[in-house]
């Protein structure tokens, strides 16, 4: 049954995170140096406290030491965190999602025994997935409604040498890279693409932090360089040649747009407060039709975006809702992404306009909210490309396996 009535636990988690953001995040997030879009330092202390609150391990199962949160709950938490600080929200959402995927679903008992205890015990233990490479063309674009024309993108290699894998290559645009203590790395080998677990201190691995002007992202990002990097043979996830992690699936999740929703709400709440304080034209500006309808439009965009995001999150948690035709069999997360990212960017611009010239000043938060929404608009799969993916799904297009894959088979 499709039902978005929040459970008492979900409401309680939301209130807890909301209090945490008000008390511990906002006072830091709005300091002048954090308002500089290009050079803002990550709030490490806030990440520590959030971890102590259980937000780093939110989606990890309760057996494993987490809170076992589903996609909808994770989305609610991410929205609240991003209201305070989108970078903090991005780092935690990434680790929490990967923790569930790796520890609960993919690792063997032996791997869990090695990696889970230190992960749970260490507030600064973040996780990352390294799948993209520098010249990897992940765009659908020209391949719309056509079979793959380019070779698969994994050029990083791993070869067996005795009891270790030897990895060589470069991974790019790796979310959480500068903070992660464990990476899931896609590598190419004799039998196709596999995924290996690589600790950040593995010999031969170097990690460099990305410059925010290199691409659009929230949180922390980086590049991994492997030079004869060695990890034990037992670090293979799943079977050789069967990469169990779909990078695309982890890049476009309802949580990412929930994060964006938090940005939109931060701008909206600031504008609503200001509109009730600022007096021009003989009355509070909220009492002017021009500002009132602008705030109404912002609220409409945010609420409809939330409905789309929650619907997508619900569908992730309840595949049966699609099976029993409660929800349409469509790429709901992609649909939510296109709508929400455009709606929220417009919403932040409208909210900033309510502030007059203060809306563009770097020592004021509004320009940061606009910038953050622009980053969301352009991070992950582009909206142009997402629409092409949706269009293929609408037409029921199934892409034939590429020549390279056929040859390998």
Q: Residues interacting with another protein, by CB under 8 A?
A: 36-37, 39, 137, 139, 141-143, 149-150, 213-216, 279-283, 285, 290-291, 294, 349, 352-353, 356-357, 359-363, 367, 370-371, 374, 377-378, 382-385, 387-388
Q: Which is nearer to another protein, 159 or 360 (CB)?
A: 360
Q: Which is nearer to another protein, 81 or 291 (CB)?
A: 291
Q: Which is nearer to another protein, 304 or 361 (CB)?
A: 361
Give the shortest CB-289-to-another protein separation in angstroms: 9
Which of the 8 DSSP states describes residue 380? S
Report how far residue 121's alpha carbon sits from residue 125's, in angstroms, rounded to the nearest whole number.
8
Say if residues 214 and 197 touch (Cβ distance below 8 Å). Answer: no
Q: Which is nearer to another protein, 51 or 341 (CB)?
A: 341
Report how far residue 24's alpha carbon sits from residue 27's, in angstroms, rounded to the nearest whole number.
6
Give the shortest CB-299-to-another protein separation in angstroms: 17
Q: Which is nearer to another protein, 139 or 403 (CB)?
A: 139
Report how far residue 257's alpha carbon sits from residue 266's, in angstroms, rounded to the nearest whole number.
14
Give the shortest CB-34-to-another protein separation in angstroms: 14
Give the shortest CB-148-to-another protein separation in angstroms: 9
193: left (phi over 0), alpha (psi -120 to 50) or beta: beta
CB-count burial class (<10 Å; 0-12, 13-18, 19+) for 126: buried
Report how far residue 379's alpha carbon sits from residue 373's, in angstroms, rounded to the nearest whole number.
10
Q: Which is nearer to another protein, 87 or 172 (CB)?
A: 172
Give the shortest CB-219-to-another protein separation in angstroms: 17
CB-count burial class (<10 Å; 0-12, 13-18, 19+) for 385: middle
Give the shortest CB-143-to-another protein separation in angstroms: 6
Of 271, 247, 228, 201, the residue nearest 97 (C-alpha): 247
Say if residues 187 and 193 touch (Cβ distance below 8 Å). Answer: yes
């Amino acid at each position: 049954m499709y039902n978005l009535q929040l459970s008492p636990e979900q409401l309680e988690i939301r209130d807890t995170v909301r209090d945490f953001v008000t008390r511990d995040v906002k006072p830091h997030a709005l300091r002048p140096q954090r308002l500089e879009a290009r050079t803002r330092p990550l709030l490490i202390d806030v990440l520590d406290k959030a971890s102590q609150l259980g937000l780093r391990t939110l989606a990890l199962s309760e057996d494993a030491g987490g809170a076992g949160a589903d996609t909808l709950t994770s989305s609610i938490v991410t929205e609240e965190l991003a209201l305070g600080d989108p970078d903090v929200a991005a780092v935690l959402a990434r680790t929490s999602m990967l923790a569930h995927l790796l520890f609960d679903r993919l690792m063997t008992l032996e791997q869990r025994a090695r990696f889970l205890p230190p992960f749970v015990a260490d507030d600064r233990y973040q996780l990352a997935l390294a799948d993209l490479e520098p010249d990897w063309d992940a765009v659908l674009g020209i391949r719309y409604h056509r079979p793959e024309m380019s070779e698969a993108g994994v050029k990083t290699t791993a070869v067996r040498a005795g009891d270790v894998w030897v990895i060589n290559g470069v991974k790019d645009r790796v979310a959480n890279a500068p903070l992660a203590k464990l990476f899931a790395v896609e590598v190419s080998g004799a039998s196709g693409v596999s995924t290996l677990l690589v600790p950040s201190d593995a010999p031969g691995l170097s990690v460099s932090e990305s410059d925010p002007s290199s691409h659009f992202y929230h949180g922390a990002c980086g590049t991994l360089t492997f030079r004869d990097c060695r990890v034990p043979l037992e670090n293979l996830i799943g079977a050789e040649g069967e990469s169990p992690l779909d990078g695309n699936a982890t890049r476009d999740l309802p949580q990412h747009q929930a994060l964006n929703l938090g940005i939109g709400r931060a701008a909206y709440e600031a504008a609503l407060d200001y509109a009730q304080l600022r007096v021009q034209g003989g009355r509070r500006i909220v009492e002017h039709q021009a500002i009132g309808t602008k705030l109404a439009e912002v609220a409409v965009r945010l609420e409809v975006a939330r409905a789309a995001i929650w619907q997508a999150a619900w569908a992730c948690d309840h595949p049966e809702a699609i099976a029993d035709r409660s929800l349409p069999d469509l790429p709901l997360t992609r649909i939510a992404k296109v709508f929400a990212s455009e709606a929220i960017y417009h919403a932040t611009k409208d909210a900033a306009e309510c502030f007059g010239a203060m809306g563009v000043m770097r020592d004021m938060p509004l320009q940061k909210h606009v910038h953050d929404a622009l980053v969301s608009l352009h991070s992950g799969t582009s909206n142009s490309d997402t629409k092409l993916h949706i269009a293929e799904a609408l037409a029921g297009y199934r892409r034939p396996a590429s020549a390279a894959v056929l040859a390998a088979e």
